[in-house]
Amino acid sequence: MKDFLKNILSTMIGVIMVFSLMGVLGIISLVGMIVSGSGTVEVKDNSVMVINLSGVMEERAADDPMAQFTGRVGTSIGLDGVLSAVKKAKENKCVKGIYIEAGLFSADSPASVQALRDALEDFKSSGKWIISYADSYTQSTYYICSVADKVLLNPQGMIDWHGLAAQPMFFKDVLAKFGVKVQLSKVGKYKSAPEQFTADGMSEANREQTTAYIKGVWDEYLSDVSKSRKLSKQTLNAYADSFITFADQKDYVKLKLVDGLCYTDEVADVVKKQLGLSADDKINRITSGDLNQVSSGDDDGDEIAVYYAYGDVVDSNPGGIGSSACIDAQKVCRDLKSLADDDDVKAVVLRINSGGGSAYASEQIWHSVVNLKKKKPVVVSMGGYAASGAYYISCPANYIYAEPTTLTGSIGIFGMFPDFSELLTEKLGIRFDEVKTNKFSAFGTPVRPFTAEEMTHINSYIDRGYKLFRQRVADGRKLPVDKVEEIAQGRVWLARDAVGIKLVDGLGSLDDAVEKAAGLAKVKTWHTESYPAPPSWLDQIMTTMSTDTYIDGKLRETMGGYYPMFMYLRQLDKHSAIQARMPYMLDIR
């Protein structure tokens, strides 16, 4: 018996020692990763920057610290990181060109896709070359890669070129199946965000504005591809109408959509030839991540802060499943005050990519932007969206830049209040009684919908909120209120059209916004710092290991493009009741 217990104890000690050793080795490996990741990378001569267009491109994407342990490939691409790397590749004499390998790829907006393409166009202005390859091109990847000097395709591949369509979803009937209705109060003919819960189709006003901006985006696509491929816009439109996606691959060459057909293993020879290498030579590849670790040597001069604000505008970060990037009013206000008080920061660029959200939160951030502007110049750089609540926080800036396909404006407010009374009483059979002291004591109860008198008070409150929003825009853009009213009413505008009505000052990139901010601050040499700082490696690891993040990841993987709308619907009762939000979560295909 003693020998048995001794053997058991020895085994347990052995197991504990093994796991302890594995833990120590894991910590050593993690420290090594952190140390190596914080170092700088040396670029070899005759290098090629490789861009892998696969996954989802977001405004900013955090590194996945567990990927090196698990071998998992990241599913998101940070637009900020790619743009920074392309700029460094342009300026680095050792980088001779860029090779793009296109796969299954999507972006949060047409403007983000256009920003990447513009950066590649700028890269070519240095005299360097770009080669792209794909087994098949999606419409977004073809639009980006059409800028390349050589566009290559697999001999059995496809080019998806069919035009754009917007397909908003409507949930009125599905909510009704559960006994849920949505009570609505809104201001603005074009303020169409609530339609998805109160209607079963698009209003004529919403159809008008949606048609205008998808046609505008498509026209930008046609113009850019036409310039690069030396094909007329009429020809490219005809290709889309003929559903050229299913054309014979050799026809793609004849029609000048691609420059050649080759298999994956043959692309390296094309790149080597471009570099002047022999077949036996090795290509010096360098990634976006590598280039962003290369010391730029441009930390001299004054600091221009670039503050990233993207996602829904919320009163505070709700956390939990689906707690993706958001513009947390409490945190943003604290951060902007810190930047205002920092004497080393000479100007601030707000990089905004949001369709809006809480009207109350938007007002709080507006106030912080106004206070910041009193101390130093503020320039806004709009990403894919800067509409409704996001335009609210943009309008007091000294200057506003946007991409041509940015969606902006949507000056309007609505109140949306879920009514669960039928679900509770008819579907679940719950009965309620009531005792109250005053006429409106039971206001907001889930037991019944609002009365006509209660809705009158709500409508009055929403109307005051709209007038305040309108006044904020008038003051910020130095326009008469009646002029703002003409372009408001919840109308969404494409940025290239917004310039003419003075909602936007100019079309340009983030770099243009930084240069403008430096000019307003009257500084001759400058460097940029990005805010908020990315999460620490430990925070990223803890987030990656959390159950909520795992479930959220699986939902994203399963639902694909329907995920954002599902999460919005799931958290319908958790959103601020008074919203300044653009129409829908746009799914432009």
- The C-alpha atoms of residue 373 and residue 377 are separated, in whole angstroms, by 6
CB 258 within 8 A of CB 231: no
In this structure, the strands spanning 47-58 and 284-287 are: parallel
- Known catalytic residue: 554? no
- The C-alpha atoms of residue 138 and residue 126 are separated, in whole angstroms, by 28
User: Tokens standing for 222?
Assistant: 């046609």
CB 304 within 8 A of CB 526: yes
Residue 103 φ then ψ, to 5°: -130, -145
Residue 510 φ then ψ, to 5°: -60, -40
CB 400 within 8 A of CB 394: yes
Sequence letter at residue 8: I
- The residue annotated as part of the active site, out of 90, 191, 376, 516, is 191
- Known catalytic residue: 388? yes
E strand or H helix that includes residue 95? strand 95-107
| Tokens 């460094």, residue located | 88
- The residue annotated as part of the active site, out of 84, 388, 394, 576, is 388
Q: How far apart are the first and last CA of the chain?
A: 72
Closest to 272 (Cα-Cα) out of 287, 283, 285, 261: 283
- The C-alpha atoms of residue 173 and residue 504 are separated, in whole angstroms, by 38
Q: Looking at residue 53, what DSSP letter applies?
A: E
Q: What angle do CA 253, 255, 260 make, to 5 degrees?
A: 15
Active site residues: 191, 388
